Amino acid sequence: MSVSQAEQDTVAFTVEDGIAWVKFNRPEKRNCMSPQLNRQMMRVLDELEYRDDVGVLVLSGEGTAWSAGMDLKEYFRENEAKGLGAMRQAQRESYGWWRRLRWYQKPTIAMVNGWCFGGGYGPLFGCDLAFAAEEAQFGLSEINWGILPGGGATKIAVELMSFRNAMYHSMMGENVDGKKAAEWGLVNEAVPLANLKERVTEVANVLLQKNPVALKATKDAIRRVGEMTYENAEDYLVRAQEAANSFDNEGRKEGIKQFIDDKTYKPGLGAYDK
Ligand code: ACO
């Protein structure tokens, strides 16, 4: 089935020097997530995931928003009017690409340039790292229009924030700026909007220097071990490394050689030369 141009235009991307810059692209609607956008985002993630020229994916928003959450008209009102089947399909489409991001082959960075509300916390958490503009505004605004933070947002609040902050943030419907979001653990760091892209590029370039097999194993491990006992985590990590070895037989050996034999770098101070 051919996809309409309007649907394709809901997401924009370019690939430059190993970095895929993907954008929510409905600036006139503050990049809120419609069913069309959710479907297109999955297609774009599909297209980029295994490309050799993509080492890191950055997700940002066109215009003044990162994402104003779910589209209250197209995602909620119109689908609710169609019935349960339509609602469930819309949920599968949005939760689907957020899940895809959580387990993406390449490292991912949320570059939060502006508004980030409600459902936006799904892709925010889906990205491995997150950098915000100090001027950005974050809100679990669900309570302001009469629902609980669904679509995983409550779980994300508890994963990322302290109990007290998660409770306050969810119940009060007040926004926090990028600085407070960093303090609360919603993002790694906040910098002035004017410096955001530069800082994210710097971080992406560091990631591009690392062993990609080890990066994928590491990001998956961080997401998985939280719910394991120590014993299970220890065992999982042994097996995860052994599985990674079968994909990358030479990388870590080269890393050891450059340190122990060639003495060309120190792993404590940087990455080996790929
Ligand atoms: N759903 C549907 N339409 C939206 C959404 C949304 N989440 N956010 C913005 N829009 C639309 C507006 O209706 C408006 O449409 P129009 O031009 O056809 O009138 C357009 O985008 C521009 O929005 P404004 O409100 O005019 O933009 P402004 O810059 O003044 O405000 C703000 C931005 C604060 C983000 C505001 O749009 C807003 O509060 N949006 C809703 C945020 C929200 O609570 N999202 C839901 C979270 S809960 C969830 O996701 C489950």
Q: What are the beta bridge partners of residue 70?
A: 33
Mean pLDDT computed over 101-127: 98
Residue whose CA is at the smallest distance from ligand 1 atom 40: 68
- Kindly state if the Cβ of 38 falls inside 6 Å of ligand 1: no
- Kindly state if the Cβ of 142 falls inside 6 Å of ligand 1: yes
* pLDDT band, very low/low/confident/very high, at 1 (cuts 50, 70, 90): confident
At residue 98, does pLDDT exceed 90? Answer: yes
Ligand 1: nearest atom to the Cα of 149 = 51
Ligand 1: nearest atom to the Cα of 151 = 51
Average confidence score pLDDT of the chain:
97
pLDDT digits (tens, 9 = 90+) for 223-266: 999 999 999 999 999 999 999 998 887 888 999 999 999 999 99
- Kindly state if the Cβ of 143 falls inside 6 Å of ligand 1: no
pLDDT digits (tens, 9 = 90+) for 34-92: 999 999 999 999 999 999 999 999 999 999 999 999 999 999 999 999 999 999 999 99
Residue 247: its pLDDT value, please? 85
Ligand 1: nearest atom to the Cα of 150 = 51
How far is 229 from 32, CA to CA, in rounded Å?
38
Residue 250: its pLDDT value, please? 85
Residue 32: its pLDDT value, please? 98
- Kindly state if the Cβ of 141 falls inside 6 Å of ligand 1: yes
Q: In three state form, how does the secondary structure of the chain look?
A: CCCCHHHHCCEEEEEECCEEEEEECCHHHCCCECHHHHHHHHHHHHHHHCCCCCCEEEEEECCCEEECCECHHHHHHHHHHHCHHHHHHHHHHHHHHHHHHHCCCCCEEEEECCEEEHHHHHHHHHCCEEEEECCCEEECCHHHHCCCCCCCHHHHHHHHCCHHHHHHHHHHCCCEEHHHHHHHCCCCEEECHHHHHHHHHHHHHHHHCCCHHHHHHHHHHHHHHCCCCHHHHHHHHHHHHHHHHHHCCCHHHHHHHHHHCCCCCCCCCCCCCC
Ligand 1: nearest atom to the Cα of 71 = 1
Question: Ligand 1: which of 30, 74, 141 to mutate, judged by most atoms within 8 Å of the beta carbon?
Answer: 30
Q: What are the beta bridge partners of residue 177?
A: 137
pLDDT digits (tens, 9 = 90+) for 135-161: 999 999 999 999 999 999 999 999 999
Residue carrying the six token digits 């679990």: 140
At residue 21, does pLDDT exceed 80? Answer: yes
Mean pLDDT computed over 205-209: 98
Pair 110, 130: CB distance under 8 Å: yes
Residue 11: its pLDDT value, please? 98
ipTM: 0.99
pLDDT digits (tens, 9 = 90+) for 160-196: 999 999 999 999 999 999 999 999 999 999 999 999 9
Q: Phi and psi at residue 70, in whole multiples of 5°?
A: -70, 150
Is the pTM here over 0.90, yes or no?
Answer: yes
